[in-house]
Amino acid sequence: MVDIWLPYGRTEVCLRIATESFLGTIEPNETRGADNPREEIQRSLKEPVRTRPLLETVKPGDRISIALKGAEDPSSDLALLESAVKELNEAGARNEDITVLRGIDPLRMDASKTTTQSLSVDSLKGVTILDHTGEPEDSVYVGQTSFGTKVYINRKFVESKIKILAGVVEPHLYEGYSGGRDCVLPGISGLETLQHNLSLALDPEAVPGLLERNPVHEDMTEAARLSGTDFTLNIVRNHRKEIVKAFSGDLEGAFLEAAKFADGIYKVPVDRRVDMVFVSPGGFPYDVNLYEACKGIGNALEVVRKNGVIILVAECSEGYGETDFHDSMANLKDLKRIENSLRKRFTAGGYIAYSLSRALERVEVILVSTLPDYYAFEVFRLRTAKTVNEALRQGSATRKNAKVLVVLNSNITIPVLRQRE
């Protein structure tokens, strides 16, 4: 027998699997954080990709805007901003000439952002820090993408002399990777622009880790070009949220190099599809509710055989999470109706309901959690088990000699089949 400890809330639970059935555990590749993250960011600023350094382009008196699509982590946000501002100061810019625009994240519209107080440090004193709202009065039209998206961008950003993007490059549900261009769209775009772009998230190529042919990514890139972005600063972190490497410079060049580097951390090769996959988002806070925990199901779906089973191990101490997630699953019932609803009005909860429903059309999903069975089964159409080992028995009952794979940090682990079946 093999004992596998799975993160569950603030603790762990033990799964016991017969050796002959267990094919292994996959998670992001172990990658060491930079010895000095600030020095790594400063290095990238002085060695930009496919463009000149800020020291050669910024002049004293220039009005400067930095679009920041926050990392839900004050330390990463501070590292990005303090490094950028230090470089701008060296070029002769005053803090009073710099505005930071904190962008919209559609998957966390209702979540609290990094507070302004957490960014109130001496090095940023005098810098104006504003939350972008997306309201029409705050935006200006800059053109239309080839996807038909009318692009409205934050007025302060468009009117600035120097326009900079600062973000984190890591797997994203439908963008492929976050960072770079998404600081503009969705980050500082108008709500009409945002909704049209998000309608592309229903395309089958809009998946984690994929940029080529991904219409969401391509539409975002076109919008960022229309915004007149001059320079980008991207950081790549490991699964412990430690900064590993920074990539600065050209809008597309720097981002694509960062994404390629991120591939080496988050993409994990798998030989073949299996009968059963245990999925752990990584414990608290990634399994605080069912909405958050389900974000990794799509990744696991890539390596499960049709009619196989995904066992989601997530405490869900705060219940199901987003109201739109619950309502979409409870009221719309089938995938097509959820898709039609999203095309009319995209919501984060509705999109996770769409992702879960798409998985349920192909595989069985068993949930190990504290969520009441009524919600799990009647609303979200999930079978339940009290323990991981009970879930294993349930999944194995109709699947003799089932082969089992375990996926940890499932929201950011991207299994890649070595050969398509």
List the CATH number of the domain containing 111.
3.40.50.11440
For residue 268, give the nearest of 375, 104, 105, 410 by alpha carbon: 410
Helix (H, G, I), strand (E, B) or coil at 29: coil
Is the same domain home to 186 and 90?
yes
Same domain, 56 and 7: no
Q: Is the pLDDT of residue 119 over 80?
A: no
> What would the mean pLDDT of 331-345 be, rounded to a whole number?
92
How far, in Å, CA of 72 to CA of 303, rounded?
29
- 59, pLDDT greater than 50: yes
Q: Taking 70 as the threshold, does the pLDDT of residue 420 lie above it?
A: no
Last residue of a domain, one of 246, 266, 286: 266
- Tell whether 136 and 205 lie within a shared domain: yes
CATH number, domain containing residue 408: 3.90.226.30
pLDDT band for position 73 (cuts 50, 70, 90): confident
What is the reported pTM? 0.94
What DSSP string runs through 361-396? Answer: TTSEEEEESSS-HIIIIIIT--EEESSHHHHHHHHH
As for how many domains the chain has, the answer is 2
First to last CA, the chain: 29
> Where are the extended beta strands (E) located within 92-188?
98-102, 128-131, 139-144, 150-154, 162-168, 171-172, 176-177
CA distance 405 to 25: 6
Q: How far is CA 179 from CA 70, 313, 329, in A?
A: 10, 29, 30
> What span, in angstroms and rounded, lies between the C-alpha atoms of 56 and 39?
20
Type of residue found at 302: E
Residues 94 and 23 both lie in one domain: no
| Domain match, 338 and 354 both | yes
315 phi and psi, to 5 degrees?
A: -60, -40
Same domain assignment for residues 229 and 87: yes
CA distance 346 to 338: 10
Among 415, 293, 308, 303, which Cα is nearest to 363's? 308
**Predicted local distance difference test score (pLDDT) of residue 332:** 93
Q: Are residues 141 and 51 in the same domain?
A: yes
Distances, alpha carbon 333 to alpha carbons 202, 316, 323, 371, 380, in Å: 17, 22, 15, 20, 9
Tokens for 335?
Answer: 């995938």
What confidence score (pLDDT) does residue 112 get?
43
From 231, 248, 266, give the residue that closes a domain: 266
Does 255 share its domain with 330?
no
Region for residue 364 given its phi and psi (left: phi exceeds 0; alpha: psi -120 to 50; beta: otherwise): beta
Same-domain status, 56 and 19 = no
Same structural domain, 220 and 78? yes
pLDDT at 400: 80
Instruction: Clarify whether residues 23 and 42 are in a common domain.
Output: no
Predicted confidence (pLDDT) per residue in 24-39, tens digit: 999 999 999 999 999 9
Q: Please state, rounded to an integer, the average pLDDT across all residues of the chain.
A: 94
Q: What is the pLDDT of residues 88-97, one digit of tens each?
A: 999 999 999 9
Over the stretch 156-211, which tens digit does the pLDDT of each residue have? 999 999 999 999 999 999 999 999 999 999 999 999 999 999 999 999 999 999 99
Is residue 327 helix, strand or coil? helix
Q: Contact at 8 Å (CB) between 311 and 274?
A: no
pLDDT at residue 116 in the model: 57
* Final residue in a domain of this structure, among 233, 266, 299: 266
Q: Is the pLDDT of residue 387 over 80?
A: yes
Q: How far is CA 364 from CA 150, 315, 331, 368, in A?
A: 40, 19, 20, 13
Query: CA torsion sign, 133 to 136 to 137 to 139?
Result: positive
Signed CA dihedral, 349, 355, 356, 361: sign only = positive
Q: What is the mean pLDDT of residues 329-334?
A: 92
Q: Is the pLDDT of residue 115 over 70?
A: no
pLDDT at 34: 97
247 and 295 part of one domain: no
Range of the domain at 388: 2-28+271-417
**Predicted local distance difference test score (pLDDT) of residue 397:** 85
CB 252 within 8 A of CB 399: no
